[in-house]
Structure 1
Amino acid sequence: MSAVHTFITRLRVWGQALWPVPQPVNARERARVALGAVLGLLLAGGLSQAVMPLGVPWLVAPLGASAVLVFGVPASPLAQPWAVVGGNSVSALVGLACMHALPGPAPVVAAVAVALAISAMFGLRCLHPPGGAAALLMVLTGAHDWHLALAPVALNSVLLVAAGMVYNPLTGRRYPHGQQPASAAVSAASAGAQVAPPRFSDADLDAVLARYNQVLDVPRDDLARLLHEAEMVSYRRRMGSLRCQDVMSQPVITVEFGTPLAEAWGLLQQHRIKALPVVDRVQRIVGIVTRADFLRAAESARHEGLGQRLQQLLKPDPASHSSKPEVVGQIMTRQVRVASAERALAELVPLFSATGHHHIPIVGEQARLVGILTQSDLVKALGTHGS
């Protein structure tokens, strides 16, 4: 009885593996894809029929599959303009070449034509699944006219791509979907939204893709973005509704532009902190001074040993015009990343983990400093609220 039960269980699992999961798209997206296919094939078929002579096919069957890709998955590398036009046209040429050059049974010629078409598409960077059908079509119809690769195959493909280049952007889908490095895509997004890059590098992603060693039907930049967004969703789930103001440190030890270096260094030492926000008289951030800023400024002092150089930097110069920095404003970092007190804490986790930030000033109304978020604050929040 147990053996029968095991067999049935395995059979059920095997059967479930054959049934694909639902596509996570709503009815609006499905309608968008279907309408795009209608318009694209109408354009390709209508214009081709108008210019093709009588008795010559004006629309090839593989174009139906191409329409699914162009309008259904316009971000796919397999659906890009060169993939569609080159894949279909080159494959049709391969099929015609096999009809001219290969004697033998039709099934053999058909199989070889498809295999050679796949190899050609890989080599020319135009892998397109319907291309295999284009090569097969030439063999099954016994075609020998080389012009068929140009018209209707190439003509149909160009017109379908043209329709996709108009329809997809009008309906909110980028097409062509240019392939750009993940870092460039993330940087472009980060510029406006202050989103940190993912914790993996381009080299990390390339190494994983190399080990995967399969054709991926997702553009590389989209893959990196999806992984980054999944990471952010994970952070939000673990940290719930925490805001920066819930975990930030306050009150904040601050200095002003004209604070003497010795006084600022003393505050860093006394409170055992690594950074001091530099504020104006109404508590708006004008910069930040860190231990690293002091060390960089001390490097220019003409003394041997870091300790001596630092002492020389902190020592006030009695002359009316000093050649070395005397106040915080002369060594501070002016470009400061800040965050709103209402900002979700999860959004700042990648900044600490990926970009090396140790402290982020938190601002409230009218951009005035209200607290500072440190790595210690973040670790404490993760330990208390993470799961």
Structure 2
Amino acid sequence: MQTGFRGWGGFWPQAAMAGGRDRLVACIGACLGMLLTQWISRSALGQASPWFIAPMGASAVLLFAVPASPLAQPWSIVGGNLVAASIGVACAQWIPDQMLAVGCAVALSIGVMFPLRCLHPPSGAVALTAVLGGPAVHQLGFHFVWHPVLLNSLLLAALAILFNNLAGRPYPHRVPIPTSHATADLPPIERSGVSREDLHAVLAQHGGLFDINEADLQEILLQAEMHAHQRRFGTLRCADFMAKDVITVDAHTPVALAYQKLQQHRFSALPVLGEDAQLVGIVSLHDLLAAQFSPDDAGTRVWQVMTTEVITARPEDLITSLVRPFSDGGLHHMPVADPAGRVVGMVTQSDLIAALFHEPLP
């Protein structure tokens, strides 16, 4: 009895990990998408064809409910529907037997979408519509591919881009790209953790198609590792191990004096302060070399050579949040600032390594 219950449990899937706001956004977006789709269908077919509205409704579920899915990206809907409509019309015209035409249209559409990286499940219904859509669709011939299919797909994708971004959900979904080291080596995190090759091997062994981007899966695994580390080793924060006696320079300090401070204290970078002692940049030996610095230069000021886009930490940030920017982000030093933007500490790679080494084991 217990075994049978477990077997039937597979028919009840895990709940979708979506909050109330995401569900509301999905519903509103789908509603707007269907209003647009129905209007275009009426203009092309003379009436709202249920055969054509159906695949667009399925596309709306993907674009507005799961916009991070590889199957929901703009090229997926535009390319997938364009391929499926073209193949569907061709099969309808060149294969007399309708049953055979239906099977060939869907099968060929899937076969072409795979190499073109535009796999989109509703496109199978588009191919089906081209064959079974009736006289209104058949009379359009290949014009059906451009209007309403391509036009509808482009406008639905554009609406998804606008609506999702206004709702605070980045779309198209951007895959995080690790910092390049210009070498054949893997990024540091992948050398000791799960690499892209590891994922390839496991996914190939498992078989099947997963509705998640490979890079997203790798990021999820990394975040899970960080969460497990935090759970096992405690809550060590920046304030616990950062250097508090921070050597800084003013934005109007001559670069020659900044270079002297770097040499004197054997630092590779110094935070740069502006008015009210707030952080406005960071100046490093690399910045000085890039600016062709000369120790005799008395006219150039720090603000002219400093880096203004500074990644900072907060005193309360956990040590696990620093691992990624220091390892894969290429950082060697990170200022620690309070909510007002004032520098209260400095963390270096050496500080991070020492803190991880001295952290007590569970």
TM-score tier after normalising by the smaller chain length: 0.5 to 0.7
Aligned twin of 1:116: 108
Distance 1:347 1:56 in 2: 52
Say if 1:277 and 1:132 are closer, same or farther in 2 by CA, change over 3 A: closer
Show the counterpart of 1:209: 200
Note the alpha carbon deviations across 1:300-328, whole angstroms, 9 max, x for none: xxxxxxxxxxxxxxxxxxxxxxxxxxxxx
How far 1:363 moved relative to its partner? 8.8
SS class of match (2:46)? coil
- Pairing partner for 1:182 from 170, 177, 180: 177
* CA distance in structure 2 between the partners assigned to 1:361 and 1:205 by the alignment: 31
Sort the Cα spacing of 1:203 and 1:150 in 2 relative to 1 into closer, same or farther, 3 A. Answer: farther
Relative to structure 1, the CA distance from residue 232 to residue 61 in structure 2 (aligned partners, 3 Å threshold; closer, same or farther) is same
Per mean C-alpha deviation after superposition, the further-off stretch among 357-366 and 15-24 is 357-366
Distance 1:227 1:109, change over 3 A: same
Q: Contact 2:84/2:126 (CA < 8 Å) preserved in 1?
A: yes
Mapped to 2, the partners of 1:156 and 1:258 lie a distance apart of: 64
Q: Encode CA deviations 1:354-384: one digit per residue, 9 max, x unaligned.
A: 689999898999646699736344222142x
How many Å apart are 1:347 and its aligned residue?
2.5
Q: Is the 8 A contact 1:182 1:220 kept in 2?
A: no
Q: Identify the residue that residue 54 of structure 2 maps to in structure 1.
A: 61
2:151 is the alignment partner of 1:161: no
Q: Given residue 351 of structure 2, which amino acid in structure 1 is its aligned partner?
A: L
Deviation at 1:116, TM superposition (A): 0.5
Segment drifting more, 110-119 vs 140-149? 140-149
- C-alpha deviation, 1:235, in angstroms: 2.9
Q: Which residue in the other structure is 2:291 paired with?
A: none
CA distance in 1, matches of 2:36, 2:284: 60
1:235 aligns with 2:246: no
Deviation for aligned residue 1:90: 1.7
After superposition, what is the alpha-carbon deviation per residue over 1:27-56, rounded to whole angstroms, capped at 9, x for unaligned?
11111101100011102212442x335368
Q: CA deviation at 1:114?
A: 1.0
Aligned-partner Cα distance in 2 for 1:238–1:354 = 23
- Is structure 2 residue 213 aligned with structure 1 residue 219? yes
1:57-136 pair list within 5 angstroms = 57=49, 59-104=52-97, 106-136=98-128
The answer to whether residue 246 in structure 2 is matched with residue 246 in structure 1 is no
The change in CA–CA distance for 1:144 and 1:10 in structure 2 (over 3 A counts) is same
Distance, in Å, in 2 between the alignment partners of 1:124 and 1:212 is: 20
Q: Which amino acid aligns with 1:344?
A: L
CA distance in 2, matches of 1:32, 1:337: 32
2:210 corresponds to 1:199: no
Instruction: Structure 1 unaligned segments of length 5 or more: list them.
Output: 1-7, 188-196, 265-274, 281-285, 290-333
Structure-1 residue corresponding to 2:357 = 379
Q: 1:70 to 1:379 in 2, by over 3 A?
A: same
| Contact 1:48–1:155 (CA under 8 A) maintained in structure 2 | no
- Relative to 1, partners in 2 of residues 1:148 and 1:232: Cα closer, same or farther, differing over 3 Å? same
TM-score (norm 2): 0.66
Which residue pairs with 2:318 in the alignment?
344
Task: Give per-residue Cα distances to partners, 1:134-184, cap 9 Å, x unaligned.
Answer: 11223334564422233332232222222212211111122233x556215
CA change 1:139–1:250 in 2 (3 A) is closer
Distance 1:134-1:229 versus aligned 2 partners, 3 A rule: same
Q: Which amino acid aligns with 2:156?
A: L
> Whole-Å Cα distance in 1 between the matches of residues 5 and 65 of structure 2?
31
Once residues 278 and 159 of structure 1 are traced to their aligned partners in structure 2, the CA distance between those partners, rounded to angstroms, is 49
- How far 1:21 sits from its partner (Å)? 0.3
CA distance in 1 between partners of 2:311 and 2:77 (Å): 45
d(CA) in 2 for partners of 1:33, 1:134: 22
Matches of 2:322 and 2:176 in 1, distance apart?
23
For residues 246 and 103 of structure 1, what CA distance do their matches in structure 2 show? Answer: 76
Is the 1:182–1:224 Cα contact (8 Å) retained in structure 2? Answer: no
In structure 2, the residue matched to 1:309 is: none
Q: Which has the larger radius of gyration?
A: 1
1:351·1:357 contact (CA, 8 Å) conserved in 2? yes
Amino acid at match of 1:209: H
Q: State how far apart, in whole Å, the 2-side matches of 1:85 and 1:279 are.
A: 50
Of 229-238 and 31-40, more deviation after overlay is shown by: 229-238
Aligned residue for 2:36, secondary structure, equals helix
Instruction: Look up the match of 1:46.
Output: 39
Instruction: Answer yes or no: is the 8 Å Cα contact 1:99–1:109 preserved in 2.
Output: yes
Partner of 1:298: none
Deviates more, 1:77-86 or 1:143-152: 143-152
Please say if residues 359 and 375 of structure 1, whose CA atoms lie closer than 8 Å, have aligned partners that are also in contact.
no
After superposition, the CA RMSD in angstroms is 4.5
Q: Is the 8 A contact 2:41 2:47 kept in 1?
A: no
